[in-house]
Structure 1
Amino acid sequence: MVTKTVFQFISEPSDVNYGGNVHGGSVMKWIDQAGYACASSWSSSYCVTVYVGGIRFYSPIKIGHIVKVEAEVIYTGTTSMQIAINVFSRNIKRNEFEKKTHCIIVFVAVDDEGNSVRVPEFIPETEHQKQMVKYAIKLMDLRKNIEDEMKPFL
């Protein structure tokens, strides 16, 4: 099964924010689209976003740069998938991409009635995949702590 989805395109003037760079909301939309494509391809099912965590913007993306969004399955539960997203960009005149953003999205596969459905198990094979599974498990533990802290305010 394919564990990774990659989108590439040129950032456009319609993506601009007041500072002259790509708007963070545009980047978040691209993240969700690539994550959805990856999760739905893995599960062969419609998927819904249930958690987006730790979006980290390292540096701005310039208008007219080539943007690359990589989405990768890093962990599966019974009905959920954790997808790691990395966003890169490069000036059209350069060959090397620079990492601009990183986050994790959790998707759940659902049927036509919105009920969660089983997803194929992700079994890591490479050393990178094994490290990403450890990362995913660590983040799940951290999310539980955050949820417990937020309960009084829900």
Structure 2
Amino acid sequence: MEQRYQKVSASKVTISELMLPSHQNFSGKIHGGYILMLMDQIAFAAASKYSGSYCVTASVDTVDFLNPIEVGELVTLKASVNYVGNSSMIVGIRVTSENIQTGVEKHCNSSYFTMVAKDANGNNVTVPALELSSHTDVRRFYNALKRISLKNERSRHEETFNHRSPEAIDGLKGYRVKLEL
């Protein structure tokens, strides 16, 4: 069977939403959980649009809240598929907010969601291969490869690290912990 390819542009999605008082947390800023929900929605939209399949969230890689979002600001989320495996896709998401009175924009966070394409029975389905058509596409693909490599290395370390060894216990000196084993 011949390999199908899709351009990154086939996955691009943008959503904007005005932040309302009902979205705020106890400190008066927009609740991070609400932003995460919007990010999950746009990751689903980008992955489903790209793959033509229902998609589920497999993992979320590093969400750093860089700047708070205020009530009354317009939040814009942009997403696109940066990498594909067999049934998985890494969707890059950028979140910005704009003060609609002053026009001042700020970058609030970026994150990467791994999404998996499923059929009606919940089985993984193969997604189209990715056609990279710009240097930005190539950069994002290589960055995804680097994140995958770092995640695999971290998993290998967790599997092999002996936290009970004298070296590991001794390595805790200098941290703000009290050992009572």
**Under a length normalisation based on structure 2, what TM-score does the superposition of the two structures give?**
0.80
Matched, 1:32 2:51: no
Q: Measure how far apart 1:112 and its partner are.
A: 1.1
Which residue of structure 2 lines up, in the alignment, with residue 133 of structure 1?
141
Look up the equivalent residue of 1:37 and give its one-letter code.
A
Which residue of structure 1 lines up, in the alignment, with residue 76 of structure 2?
68
Q: What are the equivalent positions in structure 2 for 1:86-97 lying under 5 Å apart?
A: 86-97=94-105
Q: Measure how far apart 1:12 and its partner are.
A: 1.1
Overall identity of the aligned pairs, in %: 31
Matched, 1:120 2:128: yes
Runs of 4+ in 1 over 4 A off after TM superposition: none
Look up the equivalent residue of 2:72 and give its one-letter code.
G
Look up the equivalent residue of 1:91 and give its one-letter code.
N
3-state DSSP of counterpart to 2:129: coil
What is the root-mean-square deviation in Å for CA atoms of aligned residues? Answer: 1.5
**Under a length normalisation based on structure 1, what TM-score does the superposition of the two structures give?**
0.94
Q: What are the equivalent positions in structure 2 for 1:1-154 lying under 5 Å apart?
A: 2-151=10-159
3-state DSSP of counterpart to 1:56: coil
Q: Is the 8 A contact 2:87 2:126 kept in 1?
A: yes
3-state DSSP of counterpart to 2:59: strand
Q: Measure how far apart 1:49 and its partner are.
A: 0.5
**CA distance in structure 2 between the partners assigned to 1:44 and 1:73 by the alignment:** 13
Aligned length: 153
Q: Measure how far apart 1:146 and its partner are.
A: 2.3
Q: Is the radius of gyration larger for structure 1 or structure 2?
A: 2
**CA distance in structure 1 between the partners assigned to 2:54 and 2:159 by the alignment:** 29
Look up the equivalent residue of 2:38 and give its one-letter code.
W
Higher strand share: 1
Q: Is the 8 A contact 2:83 2:144 kept in 1?
A: yes
3-state DSSP of counterpart to 2:130: coil
Structure 1 stretches of 5 or more lacking a match? none
Look up the equivalent residue of 2:152 and give its one-letter code.
K
Q: Measure how far apart 1:94 and its partner are.
A: 2.9
Structure 2 stretches of 5 or more lacking a match? 1-6, 161-181
Q: Deviations over 1:53-81 (max 9, x none)?
A: 11111010001100000111101111110
Q: Deviations over 1:57-109 (max 9, x none)?
A: 10100011000001111011111100001100010113342110111000000
